[in-house]
Structure 1
Amino acid sequence: EKKRTLKYCYVCFLGPPVVATDFLERYVAQEGDTVKLLCPITGTPKPLIEWYQDDRMIPPTWMRFRINRRYIKIKDVVLADTGLYVCKGINGFGSESVRLSLIVRDLKEVFKSTNEDPSGPYRGLSPYLAGELPNSFAASNRFPLQGSFDEGGTRNGNLGPLVFDSSKYEEPRMVQQTAVRGDGIHKKSGDTLKLECLVDGSPAPSITWYKNGDIVMNPNLQSARSRTTLLMPDLDPFDDSGEYICKARNVWGEINATFPVIVHGE
Structure 2
Amino acid sequence: MGTLVEPALLLLLWQSVWALDIPLEVRQPPTIIKQSMKEHIVDPKDTMVIECEAKGNPHPIFSWRRNGKYFNVARDSQASMRRRSGTLDIYAKNNPEQYEAEYQCIASNEYGSAYSNKIRLQLYRAPVWPREILEPVVVSAGLPLVLSCDPPPGPPKPETYWMSSSFPTMQAVRPDRRVSMGVNGDLYFSNVLINDSVADYCCNARFPYKNVIQQKMPVVVKVLTSEYYSVRPRTVAEAAPTWLSPTGSSSSILVLQGEELLLECIAAGMPTPRITWTKDGEDLAVTSRMKVKNFNKMIQIPKASFDDVGEYTCAATNRLGYIEHTITVKVKAAPFWLEKPTDLILAPEENGRLVCRSDGAPRPTISWSINGEPIETADPQPNRQVSGDTLIFRSVSASNTAVYQCNASNQFGYLLANAFVNVLHATPRILGPRNELTKVIEGSHALLDCRYFGSPVPELRW
User: Given the two structures, how large is their TM-score scaled by the length of structure 2?
Assistant: 0.25
Flag the structure with larger Rg.
2
Higher RCO structure, 1 or 2 (CA under 8 Å, sep 6+): 1
